[in-house]
Amino acid sequence: MNDDLFPEKKEKDATGASQEETPRVRVLPPAEQTSQPQASTRDFSANYRSVHSAGQREEKKAVPSDAAERYRSAVLISSEQKNAKRKENKSRILFTAILCTITAVISVIGGTLSARVTIAREAEKAEEQSLSVLFPSQSTHPTLTGVGVLSESSGSQTQQSDSNSDESALQTETPTVVANTDAAVAKTARDIYNEVASGVVGVTARINLSNSLFGQSFIGESSGSGFIISEDGYILTNYHVVEGGSDIRVSFFDGSEKDAELIGFDQDNDIAVLKTNASRLNAVTLGDSDELSVGDTVLIIGNPLGMLSFTLTSGVVSALDRELVDDNSSIRMFQTDAAINSGNSGGPAFNMDGAVVGIATSKYADSAIEGLSFCIPINDVKDAVSDIIAYGYVRGRPLLGVSVQTLTASAADRYQLPEGVYIVAVGANSAAQQAGLSDGDVITAVGGKTVTTVQECKEQLKQYNAGDQLVLTVFQNGVSREVTVTTQEKVPASPRTDYSNVYDI
């Protein structure tokens, strides 16, 4: 214990006795402490009078004066009177409470009835005003009333009818335009995302890649986006996302994954249809891309870079009907400034109603390009998607049955051939073989229109259907001649040749 805190404490001598007197307050051990507080030892008896018993002394009873009695009877209230007063007050309070409750109930009922009557009157008035807007002739052209039959008193009746018509004309009200309160409330990007994000999926596929420099091959992975077009598991994406791929898998908004099967594709429009065994999925709504105008807002949802899942970007329609050429094919697209990156391919482009109006295609974007993105209009592929789901391919497309390559001007000059489409291979029993075409021939015109590239040849073939006859101008064995070909129906099949820089038509 610190002695500085208790300066009055003295040190003990050698025998252990304290040099100080006995402490003023003796602290008992816990077992000896009393539970009752110590009573004060001071004597207060002198402040009180002694009390004597009845036998020892008889006190004289004080008699109140008349004034005191009158005061008591007039002012003071006995306990009986007080209890009676309390009962009376309680009864009054209870009665008042019941009366207030009844009044409140009646007021509520009356207010409700009054409000209903007011609403009914306002509805009738609004209906009358609406009718006056729809049929103004009923209010702006009053009917003359009070016209009497011609007789001896016809003069007075005529005056009365004139006055009535004047009053009717003055009382005619001007039609009032009533605002339509049933107009749809515009949706925000947040509203649309919450509604449709679960209809978007991520798509991955294993791709066999090769290193042309060292002649090695290895397995890579292609990643893109897609969207659910039916609740029983059909999914639409870009064909270049799954082209040549295997082990296709789709990832859903809730984090689950499923294997997918490639049902069919349309290389010309760069679309592919996948199928999973899932059911009761949240399918998106397909809109009308023909209603798009420059300046309309579009929202893109997808998986940019293959890792930023379900990212929302927004922009406006920058242009319509852009013809983009790639890999000897051309696709009509609309342009937008919404961000579309690698991994967004195959994802949906929504309008502000939450309907899909396009397919985002990052294939036509580049890291050096800023604010230029492209989407395939959904109307251009609706029929193709229906055919793929039903038949596995797009029906009615014409097929010549040849694998071709563009013969450039420099190559044509070197090999002393005309510019055109060089036939690399001819399919067995194909329309081209039946017409007498063979490897090494050069197609220079289709239907009388000169073609110098594969893309131009394909554009001309789009004018025909399967089973149609068309005239090809072909350079064969050093001679240019015309050949009539009856086209077949184009069904996706294995490539006719191992060359990677040719195109089947």
Write the secondary structure of 265-300 as one string of H (helix), E (strand) and C (coil): EECCCCEEEEECCCCCCCCCEECCHHHCCCCCEEEE
Q: Which two tokens stand for residue 237?
A: 């994406």
Q: Which of 353, 322, 349 is CA-nearest to residue 338?
A: 349
Place of tokens 């870009």: 238
Residue of 223, 225, 240, 373 with catalytic role: 240
Residue of 345, 362, 373, 430 with catalytic role: 345
273 Cβ contact partners less than 8 Å away, ≥ 6 residues apart: 234, 235, 236, 262, 263, 264, 265, 385, 388, 389
34 Cβ contact partners less than 8 Å away, ≥ 6 residues apart: 28
Burial class of residue 483 in the structure, from the number of CB atoms within 10 Å of its CB (0-12 exposed, 13-18 middle, 19+ buried): middle
Fold entry, domain 190-391: Thrombin, subunit H (2.40.10)
- Give me the DSSP letters along 414-432: HTT--SEEEEEEE-TT-HH
What confidence score (pLDDT) does residue 152 get?
A: 38
* Residue 292 identity (one-letter amino acid): L
What confidence score (pLDDT) does residue 308 get?
A: 86
Could you give the C-alpha distances from 223 to 106, 237, 306, 344, 346, in angstroms and in order?
Answer: 71, 11, 5, 9, 10
Q: Are strands 285-286 and 355-360 parallel, antiparallel or unpaired?
A: parallel
Long-range pairs, 13-16, Cβ under 8 A, ≥24: none
Residue of 266, 268, 270, 387 with catalytic role: 270
φ/ψ of residue 72, rounded to 5: -65, -45
Place of tokens 């709504």: 285
Paired residues of 203 in beta bridges: 224, 250
Distance CA 445, CA 275 (A): 40
What confidence score (pLDDT) does residue 244 get?
A: 83
What confidence score (pLDDT) does residue 114 get?
A: 73
Looking from the CA of 475 toward its CB, the CA atoms found within 13 Å total 19
Whether 307 and 344 have beta carbons less than 8 Å apart is answered as: no
Could you give the C-alpha distances from 206 to 241, 361, 428, in angstroms and in order?
Answer: 10, 20, 31
Whether 292 and 378 have beta carbons less than 8 Å apart is answered as: no
**Composition of the chain by helix, strand, coil, percent to 5:** 30, 30, 45
* Residue 321 identity (one-letter amino acid): D
Whether 302 and 347 have beta carbons less than 8 Å apart is answered as: yes
Active site residue 326: no
What confidence score (pLDDT) does residue 239 get?
A: 93
How remote is the C-alpha of 133 from its chain's centroid? 38
Q: Which of 390, 108, 350, 375 is CA-nearest to residue 230?
A: 390
Distance CA 95, CA 97 (A): 5
Active site residue 247: no
pTM to 2 decimals?
A: 0.60
Q: Which two tokens stand for residue 326?
A: 């790639």
DSSP symbol at 304: G
Active site residue 345: yes
- Give me the DSSP letters along 476-489: ETTEEEEEEEE-EE
Distance CA 238, CA 361 (A): 7
CATH superfamily, with its number, for domain 398-504 = PDZ domain (2.30.42.10)
How many residues make up the chain in this entry? 505
197 Cβ contact partners less than 8 Å away, ≥ 6 residues apart: 253, 301, 310, 312
Q: Where is 130: in which H helix or E strand?
A: helix 79-134
Q: Are strands 216-228 and 234-238 parallel, antiparallel or unpaired?
A: antiparallel
The three-state secondary structure class of 134 is helix
The three-state secondary structure class of 475 is strand
Place of tokens 């007498």: 436
The tens-digit pLDDT sequence of the chain (505 residues) is 445 544 444 444 444 444 445 455 555 555 544 455 554 455 544 444 444 444 445 555 555 545 555 544 554 555 566 666 667 766 777 777 787 788 777 877 877 777 777 777 777 776 666 555 445 544 444 443 343 333 333 444 444 444 454 544 444 454 444 445 455 678 899 999 999 999 999 999 988 766 555 556 667 788 999 999 999 999 999 999 998 888 999 999 999 999 999 999 998 899 999 999 988 999 999 999 999 999 999 999 999 888 888 999 999 999 999 988 776 678 899 999 999 988 999 999 999 999 999 999 976 666 566 778 999 999 999 999 999 999 999 999 999 999 999 988 898 888 899 999 999 999 989 999 999 999 899 999 999 999 999 989 998 998 999 999 999 999 998 899 999 999 999 987 766 666 667 888 8
Give me the helices (H) in 336-453, please. 382-391, 409-414, 431-434
The three-state secondary structure class of 187 is coil
Q: Are strands 355-360 and 442-446 parallel, antiparallel or unpaired?
A: unpaired
